[in-house]
């Protein structure tokens, strides 16, 4: 080959830096380094004036960069690639499809500990005692500095050890658990075990109790305890905690213990299935499937044979998880890896311990609550194909792991919108990206849900996806009985106690008397403010779009976020003329208060953003509810995700209207999904559960579809509307957001861009329009929504948009405007 007569060729690598650069950056390497380096290894490289970044080698070549002098790398950080070529391909797809840079994908994909850079902040890890003797000299210097200063920048570490290159030292300190990185301080949650106490079975009846008390006449303290326990049990159906008995009877632990030793009292724990896997139990056999599950499994496998992504639609509690288990089992037997993706919030200890029974140590769990070490560990285990990471269960970021022989991808609760990353880039949909990953590995791909997304069901209907279905709950448990309660009518007849209809109130009373539990659902806090008529429940709608208008306080207007249509805030209801208009919703906190007033005896808990904010708030509330310390749980969306409570007989939906009126083209689909999922929490055992849905619109089509489980009706209607209004799945949308601190500049920029788009796409460009919150952190925001017909090439459209962006950025005034793309915005 002609090499231009040069004797030695210079070597270069392209490095993906974890920052939003259009292109990868080229660095020069020595011949020795060239012999060692492979794509997917990390290198520490200088960038800009003084920064050091960790980057990932994309390729090795002999072409010097044309417009700049290639700098040398600082150092190799790996002996082997930690990112494989399939991943690089997948990440390139993500960058291209979701219109972001490869650097942004790398930043999102790699655990923070892999990406140390000069700006990283390090702290002392206080969870571990460190044996100073195990530290090397340079490590010790850092350790010592952290005794005096709580936070160090990597650059400061550099000064301390008097070396430019400190990333390897920090890497070692991380591995030795001496330091943690700033954003990842984390604590392991251990579910508490509560001790409860009851009268021994042989003393439980009234006569027996009298006999018992006689024998205890000479032990007044013990007799006092027994009497107190008897009283407590009479008062409520709650399990009695040992601590509660101790306090009420004014005795000591020792007295209670002696009664337990004598067999007069019995101690017990409520079985919760939430113990961490301790690794010594033998793996249980997987459960035999019933005929419906078997039939679904056969269909799924047949569909896999054709190489199609397959959708499993199975009603709540139909035993989808057990079907997944069979598929996972087969996959692992073949020695392949399996990926089980769940929305973050459904990733509960409940589910994990269930799977651990079958797959024990083969399970690795990966999600954002995990600290650096744990994430790096899982990464390494997957990379090295270790048996202990053969099955990865995780939230959306688990699809970034270095799988090399993925045989099965399961996306459970595939309809969940939280699979879509909103901010920062890449704004990917983990379900869709996981499907692409599965294809790259030629793996089997299963999407599961009781309420599939309209787009997935559409794919199944059109034959793009395979399909399987389970229409019965496991164990012949009946679907809960659903009832719509008209609160408009109830208000008129003055039959409301606060936000509770008489109907719901009575059902609650009955359920509590039976000793069963209740879930009350109220839409999430902080939803877009809408205007609602207190008399008829009407919420004004946009004339051009199928969405509710939102209330904008600062302009005193009702506006549509999609097309910009707006009207002044009306003084009377458009529908009924009543002047009683309300612009606030009501929250979980208020419901909780009302419940406590209505049922002073009941123990009420609340699960929403506020109460779950603490590190393990979410787990704690679930545990308390499972252990029956609470009778009633008031909560938001968080309640709906895959929780398997055994003792819930009643679910009350406080107000379905706030869901229906959400200003979003998916509001109706989401309402169906959410209500069906909440309802699914009721009556998961023999007794048929009840669901009461309160609404101003009992004749609303969607609510009827929910109560009759008419998924197909919902789908057909929604699909029709999406076609009418040019929304997915028939069309695709890209949302473009502009951000700038100057209002004038932002407006001109957005108008310019929209104009350029319109000349390219005609009538399928909406906006620019302000979002409901039009200024965030002193930056003004404006959106454009582009609708693209399926027949048009999405790639072509994106290329056009990019071209427009280039011209746009050439205008001096617009250069500082941030342009953000959200492809398949939901
Ligand atoms: P889904 O995921 O469809 O909501 P689950 O998989 O949680 O349903 O199943 C509901 C309940 O039925 C669980 O408690 C589960 O253990 C039980 N179950 C499901 N399938 C079987 C089976 N084949 N044998 C025994 N129990 C089963
Ligand atoms: Zn509109
Ligand atoms: Zn009205």
Predicted pLDDT at 638: 76
Which tokens is 604 given? Answer: 């009420």
For residues 544 and 380, what is the distance between their CA atoms, to the nearest angstrom? 53
Q: Where does the pLDDT of residue 236 fall: very low under 50, low under 70, confident under 90, or very high at 90 and above?
A: low
Mean pLDDT of the chain: 85
Q: Where does the pLDDT of residue 553 fall: very low under 50, low under 70, confident under 90, or very high at 90 and above?
A: low
Give the nearest ligand 1 atom to 450 CA: 3
Read off the pLDDT of each residue in 291-318 and give the average, rounded to a whole number: 96
Of 470, 445, 458, whose CA–CA distance to 301 is shortest?
445
Q: Where does the pLDDT of residue 281 fall: very low under 50, low under 70, confident under 90, or very high at 90 and above?
A: very low
Q: Which residue has the tokens 């301790």?
A: 278
Lowest mean pLDDT, pick from 350-359, 603-612, 777-786: 603-612
Name the E strands within 289-417: 310-314, 337-341, 363-366, 391-394, 406-412
Which ligand lies nearest to the CA atom of residue 641 in the structure? 1
Choose one of 353, 451, 474, 683 to mutate for the ligand 1 pocket test, by most ligand atoms within 8 angstroms of C-beta: 474
For the chain, give the number of residues: 826
The DSSP call for residue 803 is H
- 575 C-alpha to center of ligand 3: Å? 5
Three-class SS of 11-73: EEEEEECCCCCCCCEEEEECHHHHHHCCCCCEEEEEECCCEEEEEEEEEEECCCCCCCCCEEC
Helix, strand or coil for residue 633? strand
The fraction of the chain above a pLDDT of 90, given in percent, is 45
First to last CA, the chain: 52
Helix, strand or coil for residue 364? strand
Predicted pLDDT at 372: 65
Q: Are 382 and 376 in contact (CB under 8 A)?
A: no
Which ligand lies nearest to the CA atom of residue 572 in the structure? 3
Of 628, 632, 605, whose CA–CA distance to 500 is shortest?
632
Read off the pLDDT of each residue in 386-414 and give the average, rounded to a whole number: 95
The DSSP call for residue 311 is E
Task: Give the pLDDT confidence of 576-620 residue by residue, as tens digits.
Answer: 888 888 765 556 777 888 899 999 999 999 887 666 666 567 778
Contacts of 482 (CB under 8 A, 6+ apart): 679, 690, 691, 692, 693, 706, 707
Predicted pLDDT at 279: 46
Q: In terms of pLDDT, which residue wins out, 391 or 184?
A: 391
- Helices (H) then strands (E): counts for the chain: 26, 37
- 514 C-alpha to center of ligand 1: Å? 25
Which ligand lies nearest to the CA atom of residue 488 in the structure? 3
Q: Are 647 and 445 in contact (CB under 8 A)?
A: no
Choose one of 290, 315, 319 to mutate for the ligand 1 pocket test, by most ligand atoms within 8 angstroms of C-beta: 319
Nearest CA to ligand 1 atom 15: 319
Read off the pLDDT of each residue in 622-641 and give the average, rounded to a whole number: 84
| In the predicted structure, residue 525 carries a pLDDT above the cut 70 | no
The pTM (predicted TM-score) of the whole model is: 0.79
Of 193, 197, 346, 328, whose CA–CA distance to 273 is shortest?
193
Q: Where does the pLDDT of residue 278 fall: very low under 50, low under 70, confident under 90, or very high at 90 and above?
A: very low
Q: Where does the pLDDT of residue 277 fall: very low under 50, low under 70, confident under 90, or very high at 90 and above?
A: very low
Give the nearest ligand 1 atom to 354 CA: 16
Q: Which residue has the tokens 């009924």?
A: 576
- 268 C-alpha to center of ligand 1: Å? 26
Lowest mean pLDDT, pick from 285-289, 373-377, 424-428: 373-377
Which tokens is 406 given? Answer: 């993925």
Task: Give the pLDDT confidence of 470-487 residue by residue, as tens digits.
Answer: 999 998 888 889 999 999
- 318 C-alpha to center of ligand 1: Å? 6
Task: Give the pLDDT confidence of 671-681 residue by residue, as tens digits.
Answer: 999 999 988 88
Nearest CA to ligand 1 atom 9: 319
Task: Give the pLDDT confidence of 722-763 residue by residue, as tens digits.
Answer: 999 889 998 999 999 999 989 999 999 999 999 999 988 765
Annotated binding site for Zn(2+): 533, 536, 542, 545, 560, 563, 573, 576
Which ligand lies nearest to the CA atom of residue 582 in the structure? 3
Nearest CA to ligand 1 atom 24: 287
| Exposed / middle / buried, residue 5 (Cβ in 10 Å: 0-12, 13-18, 19+) | exposed
Task: Give the pLDDT confidence of 801-812 residue by residue, as tens digits.
Answer: 999 999 999 999
Q: Are 614 and 595 in contact (CB under 8 A)?
A: no
The DSSP call for residue 484 is E
Q: Are 101 and 95 in contact (CB under 8 A)?
A: yes
For residues 637 and 345, what is the distance between their CA atoms, to the nearest angstrom? 10
For residues 143 and 130, what is the distance between their CA atoms, to the nearest angstrom? 9
Annotated binding site: 533, 536, 542, 545, 560, 563, 573, 576
Nearest CA to ligand 1 atom 17: 319
Most confident among 57-71, 118-132, 276-290, 606-620 (mean pLDDT)? 57-71
Lowest mean pLDDT, pick from 509-513, 555-559, 770-774: 770-774
For residues 786 and 402, what is the distance between their CA atoms, to the nearest angstrom? 34
Read off the pLDDT of each residue in 97-116 and give the average, rounded to a whole number: 91
Of 600, 601, 584, 597, whose CA–CA distance to 526 is shortest?
584
Helix, strand or coil for residue 271? coil
Give the DSSP H/E element, type plus range, for residue 695: strand 690-695
Three-class SS of 143-207: HHHHHHCCEEEHHHHHHHHCCCCCHHHHHHHHHCCCEEEHHHCCCCCCCCCCCEEEECHHHCCHH
| In the predicted structure, residue 185 carries a pLDDT above the cut 60 | no
Read off the pLDDT of each residue in 547-570 and give the average, rounded to a whole number: 76
| In the predicted structure, residue 180 carries a pLDDT above the cut 50 | yes
Query: Angle CA(776)–CA(777)–CA(780) in degrees, nearest 5?
Result: 50
Predicted pLDDT at 274: 32
Of 310, 315, 280, whose CA–CA distance to 298 is shortest?
310
Q: How many CB atoms lie within 10 A of CB 799?
A: 11
Predicted pLDDT at 282: 47
Task: Give the pLDDT confidence of 679-728 residue by residue, as tens digits.
Answer: 888 877 777 889 999 999 999 999 999 999 999 999 999 999 999 988 99
- 556 C-alpha to center of ligand 2: Å? 17
| In the predicted structure, residue 28 carries a pLDDT above the cut 50 | yes
Predicted pLDDT at 803: 93
Q: Where does the pLDDT of residue 531 fall: very low under 50, low under 70, confident under 90, or very high at 90 and above?
A: confident
Lowest mean pLDDT, pick from 116-130, 317-331, 336-350: 116-130
Nearest CA to ligand 1 atom 21: 319
Q: Are 756 and 808 in contact (CB under 8 A)?
A: yes
Q: In terms of pLDDT, which residue wins out, 659 or 33?
A: 33
Nearest CA to ligand 1 atom 18: 319
For residues 532 and 580, what is the distance between their CA atoms, to the nearest angstrom? 9
Pocket of ligand 1 (CB under 6 A): 287-290, 293, 314, 316-322, 474, 644
Lowest mean pLDDT, pick from 129-138, 201-210, 481-490: 201-210
- 291 C-alpha to center of ligand 1: Å? 13
């Amino acid at each position: 080959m002609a090499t231009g007569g040069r004797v030695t060729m210079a070597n270069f690598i392209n490095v993906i830096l974890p920052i939003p650069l259009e292109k990868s950056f080229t660095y020069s390497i020595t011949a020795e380094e060239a012999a060692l380096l492979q794509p997917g290894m990390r290198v520490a490289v200088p960038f800009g004036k003084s920064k050091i970044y960790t980057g990932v080698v994309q390729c090795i070549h002999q072409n010097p960069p044309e417009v700049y002098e290639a700098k040398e790398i600082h150092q190799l950080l790996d002996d082997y690639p930690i990112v494989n070529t399939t991943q690089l391909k997948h990440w390139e797809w993500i960058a291209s499809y979701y219109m972001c840079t490869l650097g942004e994908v790398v930043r999102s994909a790699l655990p923070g500990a892999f990406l140390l850079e000069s700006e990283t902040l390090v702290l002392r890890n206080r969870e571990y005692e460190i044996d100073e003797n195990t530290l090397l000299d340079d490590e010790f210097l850092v350790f010592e500095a952290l005794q005096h200063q709580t936070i160090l920048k990597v650059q400061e570490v550099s000064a301390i050890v008097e070396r430019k290159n400190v990333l390897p030292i920090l890497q070692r300190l991380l591995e030795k658990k001496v330091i943690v990185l700033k954003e990842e301080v984390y604590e392991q949650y251990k579910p508490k075990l509560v001790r409860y106490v009851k009268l021994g079975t042989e003393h439980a009846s009234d006569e027996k109790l009298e006999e018992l008390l006689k024998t205890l006449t000479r032990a007044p303290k013990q007799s006092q305890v027994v009497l107190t326990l008897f009283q407590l049990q009479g008062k409520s159906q709650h399990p009695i905690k040992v601590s509660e008995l101790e306090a009420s009877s004014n005795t000591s632990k020792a007295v209670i213990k002696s009664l337990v030793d004598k067999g007069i009292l019995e101690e017990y724990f409520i079985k919760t299935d939430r113990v961490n896997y301790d690794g010594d139990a033998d793996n249980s056999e997987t459960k035999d499937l019933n005929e419906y599950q078997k039939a679904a499994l056969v269909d799924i496998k047949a569909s896999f044979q054709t190489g199609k992504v397959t959708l499993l639609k199975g009603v709540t509690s139909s035993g989808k998880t057990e079907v997944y288990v069979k598929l996972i089992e087969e996959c692992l037997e073949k020695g392949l890896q399996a990926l089980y993706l769940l929305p973050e919030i459904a990733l509960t200890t409940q589910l994990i311990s269930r799977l651990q029974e079958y797959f024990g140590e083969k399970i690795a769990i990966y999600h954002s609550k995990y600290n650096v070490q744990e994430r790096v560990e899982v990464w390494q285990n997957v990379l090295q194909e270790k048996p202990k990471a053969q099955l990865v269960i995780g939230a959306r970021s688990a699809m970034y792991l270095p799988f090399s022989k993925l045989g099965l991808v399961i996306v459970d609760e595939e309809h969940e919108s939280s699979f879509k990353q909103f901010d920062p880039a890449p704004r990917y949909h983990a379900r869709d990206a996981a499907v692409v990953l599965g294809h790259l590995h030629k793996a089997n791909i299963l999407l599961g849900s009781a309420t599939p997304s309209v787009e997935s069901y559409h794919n199944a209907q059109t034959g793009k996806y395979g399909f399987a279905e389970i229409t019965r709950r496991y164990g012949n448990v009946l679907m809960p009985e659903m009832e719509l309660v008209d609160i408009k009518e109830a208000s008129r007849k003055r039959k409301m106690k606060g936000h509770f209809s008489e109907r719901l109130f009575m059902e609650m009373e009955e359920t509590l008397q039976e000793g069963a539990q209740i879930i009350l659902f109220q839409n999430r806090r902080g939803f877009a403010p809408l205007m609602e008529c207190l008399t008829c429940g009407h919420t004004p709608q946009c004339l051009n779009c199928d969405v509710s208008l939102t209330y904008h306080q600062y302009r005193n207007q009702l506006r549509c976020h999609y097309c910009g249509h707006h009207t002044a805030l009306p003084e009377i209801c458009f529908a009924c003329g009543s002047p009683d208009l309300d612009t606030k919703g009501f929250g979980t906190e208020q419901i909780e208060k009302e419940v406590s007033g209505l049922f002073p005896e009941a123990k009420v808990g609340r699960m929403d953003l506020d109460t779950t904010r603490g590190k393990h708030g979410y787990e704690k509330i679930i545990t308390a509810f499972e252990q029956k310390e609470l009778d009633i749980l008031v909560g938001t969306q968080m309640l709906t995700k895959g929780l398997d409570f055994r003792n819930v007989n009643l679910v009350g939906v406080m107000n379905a209207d706030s869901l229906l009126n959400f200003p979003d083209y998916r509001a109706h689909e989401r309402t169906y999904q959410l209500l069906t999922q909440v309802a699914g929490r009721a009556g998961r055992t023999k007794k048929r559960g009840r669901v009461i849905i309160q609404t101003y619109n009992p004749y609303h089509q969607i609510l009827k579809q929910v109560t009759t489980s008419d998924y197909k009706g919902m789908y057909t209607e929604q699909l029709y509307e999406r076609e009418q209004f040019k929304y997915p799945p028939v069309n695709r949308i890209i949302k473009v957001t502009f951000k700038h601190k100057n209002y004038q500049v932002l407006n001109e920029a957005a108008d310019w861009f929209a104009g350029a788009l319109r000349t390219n796409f005609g009538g399928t460009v909406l906006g620019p329009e302000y979002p409901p919150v039009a200024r965030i952190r002193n930056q003004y925001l404006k959106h454009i929504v582009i609708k693209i017909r399926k027949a048009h090439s999405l790639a072509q459209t994106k290329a056009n948009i990019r071209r427009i962006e280039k011209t746009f950025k050439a205008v001096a005034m617009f250069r500082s405007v941030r342009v953000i793309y959200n492809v398949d915005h939901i």
